[in-house]
Amino acid sequence: MPIQGEIHRSTYYDSVALMLAQREARDQPGVEDVGVVMATDANKEILRAGGLEFPGLAGARADDLAIVARAASEEEARAAAAFAMQVLTRRRVSTAGDAYRPKTVASAARALPEATIVLISVPGRFAHSVAREALDAGLHVLLFSDNVPIEHEIALKARGREQGLLMMGPDCGTAIIGGAALGFANQVRAGRIGLVGAAGTGLQEVASLIHRLGGGITHAIGTGGRDLSSAVGGVTMLAGLRALELDPGTEVIVLVSKPPAPEVAGRILAAAAACGKPVVAAFVGATVEPTGQVQGATTLEEAAIRAVQLACGTEAALPPMRSLPEQEAGRLSTDQRYLRGLYSGGTLCYEALVLLRPHLGAIYSNSPADPSEALEPVTRSREHTVIDMGGDEFTQGRLHPMLDPTLRLARLRQEAADPETAIVLLDVVLGYAAHPDPAGALAPVIREVREQASREGRHLIVAGSVCGTDDDPQNAGAQRAVLVEAGVLVEESNARAVHLARLIATRQGKREVRSMRKVVAAAAATTAWPEVGRVSALLGARPAVINVGLDLFAESLQAQGVPVVSVDWQPPAGGKQHLLDLLDKLEG
Amino acid sequence: MDINAANQEAMGRVLTAQPVLVGVGRALDLIPGMSLDLILHAGPPITWERMSGPLRGAIIGGLILEGRAGTEAEATALVERGGVRFEPCHHHAAVGPMAGVTTASMPVYVIENRAAGNRAYSNFNEGYGKVLRYGAYSEDVLARLRWINGTLAPAVGDALQRAGGLDMKAMIAQQLTMGDEGHNRNRAGSAIFGRLLAPHLARGGLSPEVLEQVLRYFADNDLAVLNPVMAACKATMDAAHGIAGSTVVTCMARNGTDFGIRVSGLGDRWFTALATVPVGLYFPGFSAADANPDIGDSTITETAGIGAFAMAAAPAIVKFVGGTPAEAAAATLEMYEITVGENPAFGLPPLDFRGTPTGIDIRKVVRTGITPRVNTGIAHRMPGIGQVGAGLVRPPMACFEQALEAMADLAT
C-alpha cells in the first residue's frame, strides 16, 4: 500500500494534539494507518514497527514533526497527511484568537490575577520547572503529568508544604475543587462529603456513586498515585485531610487509594482518627482496622454508601442487581471458562483484580495484584485476564482509552473471538475531558461481536458499569441505556459488575485461593498537621485556573464557566538538554 | 554569584537613569578614543572583507567627506592598504542608526546620564531618501552632510545651550503616549524636539534663510529625534553594564552581516551570529530580494525597553505586526516574558499605563525560546540606494545561547 510521509522541521505540538490529529486522519477515506508524532527515537521506532517507515524519517530530529499515512491509493495517503497537518494548525488558530496567549505561568497569573490553581499537563521531564514556578508564585498545583521523577515529586511536595500550598500530583488525573472539575472529573452534586484520593478513577467512582445515592460532595482532592508510598510519605493526603477537617462545609471525609505503604497508612489513619470528623478509608485491596471515627470500606461502592449514610443519617443503597447470573451462566458452552476484563480506569481495574482473586485464583494482568500474575506478553490474554488499557504498555504514543476507544475496541474483538472467553468485563468512564460518547463507540462493536459469537454457537456475556453522573456532559443514564441496548449487563457500580462477572465465572469452575488481604491500622503516634491556611482559602472559593499543557482541560473548564487562562507552552530551551542544564545551574 | 540580585542592580540603574541631551560637538573632540584614522560603525566588530554593501558605501562616503579620498576607488584603495581603522560605535559610548558610520569631523549629540555620570554620543539624522547611513555617498548626500556639519549642528548646539539641555527621559515618556514606539516611529518625538528647540533657535541670531532651513529640517524629518533617543538609551544601558553576575542584555547591534549582543555580567565580549533579513513591508518596486541583512545600532532602543518592546503604544504602525492594535499589544505583552522588570517612567496607555518591558534576561530568552522583537528599517543590499522598507526582525537565538554558556562558565 502506498505510504506518504513528510517531515516538518522544528515544529512542536503536544502529544495529545498530535494524537487527536492522528485519530481524525485515520478516519479519512481509504486510510489504513496514520502516524502523527514528534520524531523522537522512540516514535520513529513505533512508526517503523507499524510499517510506516518513509524516506527522510531516519534523518528527522526529536523537535521535527513527522506525518505519515498509508492508504489504498497514493492520493488518499497524501490527502490524509495533508488533513492531519490541517487538523493541527486548525486547533492552533482556534485557540489563539486575537488576544495574547501568555507563554509563562508568571504572565498568565498577570492576565488572570484571581487564579488560584495551575493545572499542568506538559511532558513529565519538563513538569518540575513549571510546577516549581507555580508554587513559587503562591499558586496551588494540579500536576497531571506522569513520568515525573520521584525526587522531583518529593521536592515539589516539600516546597508545597513549606508554602502551605496544595501540591496535587504528579500523575494526578482528577480533582473537584469548589465545584470545578479539574482534569478527568465528573459533575457531582454539592453536598457535605469531602474526598481525598490517590487514585483517579477511584475518586471518580466514589464521587459519582455518592451523587447516584443522593448525596453530594464539597471537594475531591487528588494527591497523585505515589503520594502514599514510603518515599513520598502521604504529604498531600495529610494536607488534604487537614484542609477538609477545617472546611466548615465538609462533615464526612472519604480517603481513596490503592494499598498504601503500611507506615504511611498508619500515619494517615492516625491523623484521620484525630481529625474529629467521621472518616471512611477505602484503601482498595487492604483492610482498614477501624479506630475511633475511622472506618474502612472494602469497595469503592461501599465507601460511597457509608459516606452517604454518615452524611445524611439515612440508609443508602443502590437498586438491587438486575441480572440473573445463574441464567446467564447456563447459556455458556463448556469451553467458555474465562473472564476477560478490559478497563480504561486504573483503579477500577485494580478493584476488579482484588475482588476477583479470592474467588477465581490467578488473574493475569499488566498491573497484577501479585507479580507472579504478570501478563506476558500483554497482547495475549491468558485464562482469567483483567487489563488496564490505560497502562503505559498501551498508551505509548497513543491517547488514553478514556479519550480514544480504538485500542480497546480492537482488544474487545480479539477477546470475543477467543472460544474460551465467557464474559467480558468493561468500564465506561464519563466526565469532563473524557470521550464525548464512550458507550456509543463501544455499542456497535459489542453488538457485532456478540452476534458473531452467537453465529458460532457461543453466548458471549458482556458486563460492565458506567462511572459518572447524569449531570456529566455524556449523561450516565443515557450511556447506560446505550450499553443495555447493545446487550451489556450494566450494573450500578464497578464492584457490582465485578461481582456479577465473578458469579458467572465461578459457575464455570471455581479455583478459590487463599489470598492474604493486607491489613493496615492507625499508628500509635500522631503526626503534626501541616499548615493549610492557603488551602482553606482555595477551598473557600470557586477556583480560577491557569492551564499549562493540554487545551482539552482548558476547554472543559471553559465549558463549566470556570475562569481559565491557557499558557501557550513550548518545551523550554527548545527541549535542548544541555541548555536546560545550564539554565538550572544559573537559576538555582 | 547571585544573578537575581545582580539583575536587580542592573534594573535599578536602568530605571534611575536620567539621560539629558546637553549639547552638540565634534566627534573628534568628544567621543573617547576617537581619532582621524578611525571610522566608527554600527554593530559588532567586522572586517572590510565581510562588510555588506550599505556599510561599505557609508565608509566610502565618510572617507570622501573627511577628505581622505576623492573617489570610491581611492577610498577602497586606502582601506585595502590598511589606512583606516574600523571599530564599533559601541566601543566608544556611541551609537548610530543603520550603517552608523561616524567620522572624526562629524557633529554628534552628547547625552549625559545625570544619575550615573556617564555620557553617550550619536551622529545627526540626515532624513530620508539617499543618505549616508544607507550607504549612499553621491555629491548631494555629501552636501547634505556638510550642511548638517556647518549649519544645523551649530544651530542646534547653540539652542540646546540656551535651553539648558533637554530631558530625554521625559521626552521619550511623552512620545510613547503620542503614538511613537521610539524606533520605527518617532514622528511625535521629533515634533516635540523641534517644538522645544524652536524658541531657542529663534534667538540664535540666524539669518531668516538659515532659520528656515533648520526649522524645515525638524518639520520634514520624522526621524530627527531618533539619534538622540538612541544615545539616551545607550547612556542608560551603559550604566547597567559591567555588573558581575548580571544576565541583562546591555547592547544589541547589527553591522549588516552579524547580529551581536553584550551582557552586563560578561564584560566587553560580543556574542554574534549571522544577521537575518527583516520580515517587513517594502516600498513600491522593492522586495525581500533587495534587502540587506539587518543593520544598525538602533536596536539599543529595544535593549532599553522601547521600540518594538513599546509596540502597544504605536497603533499607527500596527501593519508591521499583523494589522490590529490587539496584535501590537500582544507584541509588547510577549516581551514581558523575557524581561527582568518594567519601566514605570514609560507607561503604555493601551496597557493601562503598564511600564514598558525592560531589561532582557538571556536566561528567560533561552528558556522561553522567545527572542527580543526589533522594529527596524530595511536597507537595500547595494550601497547608495537607501531604505527599501521597514519591518520586524529578531536576533538569532545563537547569540543568547552563547552568552548563556559563557555565563555558566563564569559561574563554575
A258 contacts A252 by C-beta, under 8 angstroms: no
Where are the strands (E) in A312-459, listed by range?
A: 338-343, 385-388, 421-429
Q: What is the DSSP letter of A10?
A: T
CB pairs under 8 A between A and B: 57
Closest by CA to A171, choosing from A127, A130, A224, is: A224
The confidence score (pLDDT) of residue B130 equals: 86
Nearest to A98 among B326, B363, B369 (CB): B326
Closest by CA to B299, choosing from B268, B254, B257, is: B254
Residues of A in contact with B326 (CB under 8 A): 98-100
pLDDT above 90: percentage of residues in chain A: 74
Say if the Cβ atoms of A104 and B368 lie within 8 Å.
yes
pLDDT at B105 over 90: yes
Say if the Cβ atoms of A586 and B404 lie within 8 Å.
yes
B338 contacts B368 by C-beta, under 8 angstroms: yes
What is the bridge-based pairing of β-strands A3-8 and A294-296? unpaired
Residues of B in contact with A100 (CB under 8 A): 326, 329-330, 333-334
Other beta carbons within 10 Å of B359: 30
Angstrom distances, CA of residue A386 to CA of A306, A368, A423: 28, 9, 11
Say if the Cβ atoms of B404 and A579 lie within 8 Å.
yes
Rg (CA), chain A: 24
In single-letter form, the type of residue at position A178 comes to G
The confidence score (pLDDT) of residue A512 equals: 64
Say if the Cβ atoms of B330 and A100 lie within 8 Å.
yes
Classify A34 as helix, strand or coil.
Answer: strand
Classify B40 as helix, strand or coil.
Answer: strand
Q: What is the DSSP letter of A382?
A: -
Residues of B in contact with A574 (CB under 8 A): 369
Chain B: give the shortest CA distance to residue A567, in Å: 12
Tell me the pLDDT tens digit for each residue of A156-166.
999 999 999 99
Q: How far separated are the first and last CA of chain B, in Å rounded?
A: 10
The confidence score (pLDDT) of residue A96 equals: 37
Q: How far separated are the first and last CA of chain A, in Å rounded?
A: 53
- The mean pLDDT value of chain A amounts to 91
Say if the Cβ atoms of A102 and B324 lie within 8 Å.
no
pLDDT at A97 over 50: no
Tell me the pLDDT tens digit for each residue of A392-420.
888 877 788 998 898 999 999 999 999 99
A474 contacts A437 by C-beta, under 8 angstroms: yes
Q: Locate A172 and state its grid cell.
A: 494526578
pLDDT at B321 over 90: no
* Second-level CATH architecture of B16-229: Alpha-Beta Complex (3.90)
Q: Locate A169 and state its grid cell.
A: 500530583
A419 contacts A337 by C-beta, under 8 angstroms: no
User: Residue A98: closest CA among chain B residues belongs to which residue?
Assistant: B326
Beta-bridge partner residues of B265:
none
Confidence of residue B1 (pLDDT cuts 50, 70, 90): low
Give dist(CA A385, CA A470) in Å, integer.
31
pLDDT above 70: percentage of residues in chain A: 97
Nearest to B366 among A99, A110, A573 (CB): A573
B360 contacts B305 by C-beta, under 8 angstroms: no
What is the bridge-based pairing of β-strands A421-429 and A461-467? parallel
Give dist(CA B19, CA B387) in Å, integer.
29
Mean pLDDT confidence for A412-431:
96
Residue with cell 571599530: B87
Mean pLDDT confidence for A540-566:
93
Tell me the pLDDT tens digit for each residue of B196-239.
999 999 999 999 999 999 999 999 999 999 999 999 999 999 99
What is the bridge-based pairing of β-strands B295-296 and B249-255? antiparallel
Residue B33: burial class (beta carbons within 10 Å; 0-12, 13-18, 19+) = exposed
Closest by CA to A285, choosing from A321, A320, A304, A260, is: A260
Chain B: give the shortest CA distance to residue A399, in Å: 27
The confidence score (pLDDT) of residue A95 equals: 39
Q: Locate B344 and state its grid cell.
A: 514605570
Say if the Cβ atoms of A100 and B329 lie within 8 Å.
yes
pLDDT at A92 over 70: no
Q: Locate A27 and state its grid cell.
A: 478516519
pLDDT at A515 over 60: yes
Say if the Cβ atoms of A573 and B3 lie within 8 Å.
no
Chain A: give the shortest CA distance to residue B294, in Å: 23
Give dist(CA A117, CA B44) in Å, integer.
46
Q: Given CA atoms A402, A406, A411, A413 in this order, what sign does their dihedral have? A: positive
Say if the Cβ atoms of B334 and A100 lie within 8 Å.
yes
Choose, out of A103, A136, A568, A581, the residue to mutate when testing the contact with B (most B CBs < 10 Å): A103
Other beta carbons within 10 Å of A327: 9
Rg (CA), chain B: 20
Instruction: Please work out, in degrees rounded to the nearest 5, the angle formed at the alpha carbon of residue A535 by the alpha carbons of A534 and A538.
Output: 90
What is the bridge-based pairing of β-strands A217-222 and A461-467? unpaired
Give dist(CA B10, CA A322) in Å, integer.
74
Confidence of residue A588 (pLDDT cuts 50, 70, 90): low
Nearest to A583 among B324, B337, B367 (CB): B367
B196 sits in which H/E element:
helix B187-202
Q: Given CA atoms B318, B304, B176, B111 in this order, what sign does their dihedral have? A: negative
Give dist(CA B309, CA B338) in Å, integer.
11
Alpha helices per DSSP H over A230-344: 235-246, 262-274, 300-312, 325-330
Give dist(CA B114, CA B111) in Å, integer.
9
Beta-bridge partner residues of A565:
A546
The confidence score (pLDDT) of residue B34 equals: 98
Confidence of residue A93 (pLDDT cuts 50, 70, 90): very low
* Second-level CATH architecture of B241-411: Alpha-Beta Complex (3.90)
Residue B150: burial class (beta carbons within 10 Å; 0-12, 13-18, 19+) = exposed
pLDDT at A91 over 60: no
Domain edges within chain B: 16-229, 241-411
A532 contacts A246 by C-beta, under 8 angstroms: yes
B274 contacts B372 by C-beta, under 8 angstroms: no
The confidence score (pLDDT) of residue A531 equals: 93
Tell me the pLDDT tens digit for each residue of A259-280.
999 999 999 999 999 999 999 9
Mean pLDDT confidence for A539-548:
94
ipTM above 0.90, yes or no: no
Confidence of residue A79 (pLDDT cuts 50, 70, 90): very high
Say if the Cβ atoms of B405 and A110 lie within 8 Å.
no
Determine what percent of chain A falls in helix, strand and coil, rounding each to the nearest 5: 40, 20, 40
Say if the Cβ atoms of B408 and A585 lie within 8 Å.
yes
Confidence of residue A352 (pLDDT cuts 50, 70, 90): very high
Closest by CA to A463, choosing from A508, A510, A499, is: A499
Q: Given CA atoms B180, B182, B183, B188 in this order, what sign does their dihedral have? A: positive
Confidence of residue B320 (pLDDT cuts 50, 70, 90): confident
Burial A261-299 (b: 16+ CB within 10 A, else e): beebbbbbbbbbbbbebbbbbbbbbbbbeebebbbbbbb
Say if the Cβ atoms of A579 and B330 lie within 8 Å.
no
Mean pLDDT confidence for B362-390:
92
B258 contacts B272 by C-beta, under 8 angstroms: yes
Give dist(CA B399, CA B401) in Å, integer.
6
> B209 versus B285: which is more confidently predicted?
B209
Say if the Cβ atoms of A583 and B363 lie within 8 Å.
yes
Closest by CA to A439, choosing from A396, A487, A397, is: A487
Map out the domains of chain A with their CATH numbers. 3-96 (3.30.70), 102-171+531-588 (3.40.50.720), 325-507 (3.40.50.261)
Mean pLDDT confidence for A301-327:
87
Chain B: give the shortest CA distance to residue A560, in Å: 27
CA atoms within 13 A on the CB side of A153: 29
Say if the Cβ atoms of A100 and B405 lie within 8 Å.
no
Residues of A in contact with B408 (CB under 8 A): 582, 585-586
Residues of A in contact with B407 (CB under 8 A): 582, 586
Tell me the pLDDT tens digit for each residue of A459-484.
999 999 999 999 999 999 999 999 99
Nearest to B326 among A99, A574, A579 (CB): A99
Other beta carbons within 10 Å of B21: 27
Confidence of residue B407 (pLDDT cuts 50, 70, 90): very high
Classify A194 as helix, strand or coil.
Answer: strand
Closest by CA to A241, choosing from A262, A259, A257, is: A257
Lowest model confidence (mean pLDDT) among A122-126, B149-153, B263-267, B373-377: A122-126
Interface of B with A (CB under 8 A): 3, 247, 324, 326-327, 329-330, 333-334, 336-337, 363, 366-370, 401, 404-405, 407-408, 411
Mean pLDDT confidence for A300-327:
88
pLDDT at B7 over 60: yes
Give dist(CA B377, CA B390) in Å, integer.
4
Residues of B in contact with A582 (CB under 8 A): 366, 404-405, 407-408
Closest by CA to A122, choosing from A136, A103, A106, is: A103
